[in-house]
């Protein structure tokens, strides 16, 4: 788990997925006079290898090649597009599902039966990207237990940060109501005032 996933109390079972989706930071707003710059933690193969190693997903064999790096970025882009959809719409959006399936295809999983504890999923890959199969496993497991619906993308166009919705009814739209929610509500109020004139 990262400091960020701990801070926002993301369950351990979703922490790698949450962190991976948020390696791309497209927030572009000013808060208390400080402009938030857009950034990408994964600017090259070395950054991806470092990111995986920090989370215990490090490569056992080889190094991350430029082609592997592009595969990982496609996976991240497809995950973000999936999480941007409302949970009730995710399984109906054929183009988003198709892109996600295509992006997950290079991360095959192996089912392994264990005496006394059932079966587990593990990476079938054995190269430098094997660790990213954990993201596919977290996606699968969260779908089964229903926690994936709580992983959402902030509705603010200026933010688009992935967050874990801890609210009881699971109806949050913004990563932080005091920041993004307040900004969106204030903007909507001002637009209504302008239209009323």
115/108 Cα distance (integer angstroms)? 23
Q: For the CA atoms of 166, 143, 80, 36, what is the dihedral angle to 10 degrees?
A: 20
Is the pLDDT score of 93 beyond 80?
A: yes
pLDDT band at 156 (very low <50, low <70, confident <90, very high): confident
CB atoms near residue 40 (< 10 Å): 13
* Residue 181 pLDDT class (50, 70, 90 cuts): low
pLDDT at residue 49 greater than cutoff 90: yes
* DSSP string covering 29-58: -EETTEEPPPEES-SSHHHHHHHHHHTT--
Instruction: Over range 9-36, report the average pLDDT.
Output: 86
> How close are the terminal C-alpha atoms of the chain, in Å?
51
> Distance between CA atoms of 2 and 171, rounded to whole angstroms?
25
pTM above 0.85, yes or no: yes
């Amino acid at each position: 788990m990262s400091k960020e996933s701990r801070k926002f109390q993301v369950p351990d079972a979703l922490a790698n997925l949450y962190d991976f989706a948020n390696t791309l930071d497209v927030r572009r707003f000013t808060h208390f006079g400080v402009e938030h710059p857009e950034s990408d933690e994964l600017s090259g193969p070395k950054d991806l290898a470092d990111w995986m190693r920090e989370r215990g997903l490090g490569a056992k064999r080889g190094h991350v090649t430029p082609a592997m790096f592009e595969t990982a970025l496609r996976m991240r882009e497809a995950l973000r597009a999936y999480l941007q959809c409302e949970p009730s719409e995710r399984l109906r959006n054929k183009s988003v599902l198709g892109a996600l399936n295509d992006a997950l295809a290079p991360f095959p999983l192996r089912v392994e039966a264990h005496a006394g504890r059932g079966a587990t999923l593990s990476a079938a890959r054995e190269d430098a990207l094997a660790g990213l199969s954990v993201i596919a496993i977290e996606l699968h497991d969260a779908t089964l237990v229903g926690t994936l619906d709580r992983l959402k993308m902030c509705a603010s166009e200026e933010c688009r940060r992935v967050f874990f919705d801890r609210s009881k009814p699971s109806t949050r739209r913004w990563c932080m109501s005091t920041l993004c929610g307040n900004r969106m509500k204030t903007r909507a109020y001002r637009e209504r005032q302008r239209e009323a004139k």
